[in-house]
Amino acid sequence: MYSGIIDRYRVLLPVSEDTKIISLSEGNTPLIALPKLSATISPYLTLFAKFEGLNPTGSFKDRGMTLAVTKAFEEGQQTVMCASTGNTSAAAAAYAARAGMGCYVLIPQGKIALGKLSQALVHGAKVLAIEDNFDKALCLVREICADHPIALVNSVNPYRLEGQKTAAFEIVDDLGYAPDYHALPVGNAGNITAYWKGYKEYFDSGKSANKPKMLGFQAAGAAPIVSGSPVAHPETIATAIRIGNPASWHGANNALMESCGHIDSVTDSEILAAYNMIAAMEGLFAEPASVAPVAGLCKLASQGFFTEPATIVVTLTGHGLKDPDIAVSSANTIPISLPATRDAVLQAIGY
């Protein structure tokens, strides 16, 4: 039994035998078949969800954070810092607590989901909410970390991407091959860059016979890579990917080009429809940004993009519990208040 992604994939990661690993047993997330969703979207598709919401802090960020914090600790740093739309700050705060390190996080004021904010607070991070967006927060954090003894743990830190690439390894290990397509949401573009790196490394070392085409999806109000230029005021209900100038833009373009992939955008209403569809149809609760690729696959299928049988893995990047406000406000139902009697309950359920 492995305890976390560094333990499991140690030889493929930049650690030595002496490295003290800071882990919360992240990774080893399930690959879940989506038979009903597949049949609904296209007769050609066999879909699987890589449910990264089941990581210790509820998102894929834990894979990169275990390595970034492990290396910062090894290098003698005492504090980490990040800009975040929420999930990175939750992971940074948790792994810093685990390591006994300090943690500062910069977030866009009023634009991060409640679950994520509560995680950063409960793990003891100093949370600074700026009156601007993620892109500005990342600029500030990069400047500050460049001339202060603080480790930057955003995905511009290469250890983050090294850790995140292990999700691709797990998929190939589970399926026995790489899928035909891999679909995921794109915000700061670190994850699509990391997955492609992982798939390529497994292919180059002979551990898989093929590589997927990468499919990235951005929210329509925050789609700089799709449009080809930065978005000054990104807007979307999928606050995790409310980003106008992705740091790993080049990495994403490279992944798309090398894999012969495709990037597209989906509207907020398409995202909400996908959010409710996967929850109701397959029993999977993922946060809005996570289901952008589900919405994207619906869009591409309706345009005739898929013309032959294909296996597709969709990364559900974060758990639905991260954003309870969206869950409650977008639900098709509300709790019914009743007197505490048997008759009232029976009447309400139609007996």
User: Which has the closest alpha carbon to 240: 151, 332, 161, 326?
Assistant: 326
Which of 270, 287 has the CB closer to ligand F0G? 287
Q: Which two tokens stand for residue 206?
A: 């002979």
Nearest distance in Å: CB 78, ligand F0G: 22
Which of 271, 306 has the CB closer to ligand F0G? 271
Residues that bind ligand F0G (CB under 6 A): 59, 61, 84-88, 155, 185-191, 240-241, 287, 289-290, 317-318
Contact by Cβ (8 Å): 322, 58:
yes
What is the total residue count of the chain?
Answer: 351
Nearest distance in Å: CB 194, ligand F0G: 7
Which of 187, 221 has the CB closer to ligand F0G? 187
Contact by Cβ (8 Å): 155, 186:
no
Query: Got the DSSP string for 152-200?
Result: E-STTSHHHHHHHTHHHHHHHHHHSS--SEEEEE-SSSHHHHHHHHHHH
Which of 42, 290 has the CB closer to ligand F0G? 290
| Angle between helices 249-258 and 190-204 in degrees, nearest 10 | 40
Nearest distance in Å: CB 154, ligand F0G: 7
Nearest distance in Å: CB 116, ligand F0G: 7
Residues forming beta bridges with residue 45, ordered by sequence position: 310
Sheet holding 79-83, edge to edge: 126-130, 102-108, 79-83, 151-152
Which of 42, 93 has the CB closer to ligand F0G? 93
Nearest distance in Å: CB 240, ligand F0G: 3
